[in-house]
Amino acid sequence: MDITQLSNHYSSTGQITLNDLQAIKQLGFKTIICFRPPAEDKENQINQEDLKNEALKNNLVFLNIPVIPGNITPENVATFTQEMSSQQAPILGYCKSGGRAKGMYLAYEQSQNLK
């Protein structure tokens, strides 16, 4: 797991596994946001319900904001903005490679005039 910290409240990474959840908790994250559509890669993608159930056992919030690769929409950014203001931080966002998770935060920053 290669985590990139983008702010004091948000970091991004590529696909996580069930085994990563304990480390995610130990690193202090409170919320996980998945940006992968549930059936994006049926053969290689970890089942999101399994991740969510295991995250809950570790007292982590698990959310999904499905984003099609290369197509972050204004609706995606609006949903992410709402979650950034309502969920406990720090938040870890993930997708297949980490690109959408990082791109979403950059789009959020721009929409909020943070940079």
35: CATH: 3.90.190.10
Task: Say if residue 65 is exposed, middle or buried (CB neighbours under 10 Å; 0-12, 13-18, 19+).
Answer: buried
pLDDT digits (tens, 9 = 90+) for 36-90: 998 888 788 888 999 999 999 999 999 999 999 888 999 999 999 999 999 999 9
For residue 27, is pLDDT > 80?
Answer: yes
Report the pLDDT value the prediction gives residue 115, as an integer from 0 to 100. 61
Q: Who contacts 91 (Cβ-Cβ below 8 Å, separation ≥6)?
A: 9, 10, 11, 29, 30, 31, 32, 33, 83, 84
For the chain, what is the domain count?
1
Q: With H, G, I as helix, E, B as strand and everything else as coil, classify residue 102.
A: helix
Report the pLDDT value the prediction gives residue 41, as an integer from 0 to 100. 83
Report the pLDDT value the prediction gives residue 46, as an integer from 0 to 100. 86
Query: What is the mean predicted confidence (pLDDT) over 8-26?
Result: 95
Question: What's the CA gap between 51 and 18, in Å, rounded?
Answer: 6
Cα torsion 8, 14, 18, 22: sign: negative
Question: What's the CA gap between 31 and 40, in Å, rounded?
Answer: 22
**Average pLDDT value for the chain:** 92
Domain containing 64: what range? Answer: 4-111
The label of the residue with tokens 């970091």 reads: 11
Report the pLDDT value the prediction gives residue 13, as an integer from 0 to 100. 97
What percent of the chain lies above the pLDDT cut of 70? 98
Strands 4-5 and 10-13: antiparallel
Report the pLDDT value the prediction gives residue 69, as an integer from 0 to 100. 85
